[in-house]
Amino acid sequence: MEKRDTNMDGFTQKIEEMAETRQISLELLDYILHRATEEEREILFSKAREISQAVFGKTVYLRGLIEFTNYCKNDCYYCGIRLSNKNASRYRLTREEILSCCDKGEELGFRTFVLQGGEDPYYTDDRICELVRAIKEKHPTCAVTLSIGEKSYESYQRYFEAGAERYLLRHETANEEHYAMLHPASLSGAHRKQCLRDLKKIGFQVGCGIMIGTPHQTTEHILEDIRFMQELQPHMIGIGPFLAHKDTPFRDEPNGSAEETIALLAVLRILFPKVLLPATTALGTADAFGREKGILAGANVIMPNLSPVQVRGKYLLYDGKICTGEEAAECNVCLRARMTKIGYEVVDSRGDHPDFT
């Protein structure tokens, strides 16, 4: 009789239980992130793929990322565009440049534009609202996502009324002490979490998220992040490895691991079947095939860069960022081909969360 591998059966059982209960213990999370064998990782990924394909099919949504300003008033210890980085070459795109990125994006098949930037005081609420209105007027079938940091309830309300329907704000870490190790005292995790609750209350599709492998991060912290996500029930979860930037206080810290990030993507897919889950550029930077591996571990979104090529090399959150020299059209062709190669189809739709369609 064939000898059964009881360890493997036990692992499969645990993954099935996780899928059924949508809960994970600290022990299992730690095991998955740090000690699972290749075979066990494949069991995990295969369950995550099964769930992702049941909800979304073998499709991948595109988000056109427009990095419209790298001015920032904050001083996060990990970030290459932090205020104190005097080596950063600062830029901000004009309204016309941003609109022309959207025109190009729609031609390429994008139906979501993500406007991301540092917290740049030049971009007042009036300017942001005017911009959002102009984009929606020219591209009424496209979704506008903002990712411009912590604002007041009233500001978020204004952006929503102007037509923005999604907002990305990674909470970075749900643990207050850990938050204080990554940020100056002027910033608080509690406020960032409150912003996410406000955004959700206003009616945005909301994305939270973390970096994997930030200094002092423990598995307990990641479990706290998961618990926070279970409470918030975000529509999107953005995770990527922490990657050091040479002009930040964390310049000598080790990079986060692509393997851990991919394993966590699979865990998140299993715990949050309907969530929009990007395979990020940081993951593609940490591992040349990181985005493909992320999709095969349950992610269902990729975010090609639509920023003009002359500023791409300036939006450097971390060292070694990929795709800084390519035109939007090249990135588009390349990413679509990469997805086709692994058996997935990029779809030209807005890619809303299933509860919003």
Closest CB 168 distance from ligand SAM, rounded Å: 7
Q: 287-319: buried (b, 16+ CB within 10 Å) or exposed (e) per residue?
A: beebbbbbbbbbbbbbbbbbbbeebbebbbbbe
The CA distance from 103 to 194, in Å, is: 34
When the beta carbons of 150 and 352 are compared against ligand SAM, the nearer one is 150
Closest CB 37 distance from ligand SAM, rounded Å: 28
Closest CB 179 distance from ligand SAM, rounded Å: 12
Binding footprint of ligand SAM on the chain (CB under 6 A): 78-79, 116, 118-119, 147-149, 169-170, 172, 211, 240, 242-243, 245, 282, 317-318
The CA distance from 275 to 234, in Å, is: 7
Closest CB 9 distance from ligand SAM, rounded Å: 37
When the beta carbons of 290 and 336 are compared against ligand SAM, the nearer one is 290
Q: How far apart are the first and last CA of the chain?
A: 51
Closest CB 237 distance from ligand SAM, rounded Å: 12
Token pair 């990413």 is found at 335
CB 82 within 8 A of CB 31: no
When the beta carbons of 44 and 168 are compared against ligand SAM, the nearer one is 168
Closest CB 218 distance from ligand SAM, rounded Å: 18
When the beta carbons of 45 and 242 are compared against ligand SAM, the nearer one is 242
CB 301 within 8 A of CB 351: yes
When the beta carbons of 178 and 336 are compared against ligand SAM, the nearer one is 178
182-191 LR contacts (CB < 8 Å, sep 24+):
182/76, 182/77, 182/78, 182/214, 182/215, 183/74, 183/75, 183/76, 183/77, 184/74, 184/75, 184/76, 184/77, 186/74, 186/75, 187/74, 187/76, 187/150, 191/150
Closest CB 328 distance from ligand SAM, rounded Å: 19
CB 14 within 8 A of CB 28: yes
When the beta carbons of 212 and 275 are compared against ligand SAM, the nearer one is 212
User: Maximum distance among all alpha carbons in the chain?
Assistant: 73
The CA distance from 57 to 54, in Å, is: 6
Tokens (6 digits) for 166: 């999604």
When the beta carbons of 18 and 283 are compared against ligand SAM, the nearer one is 283
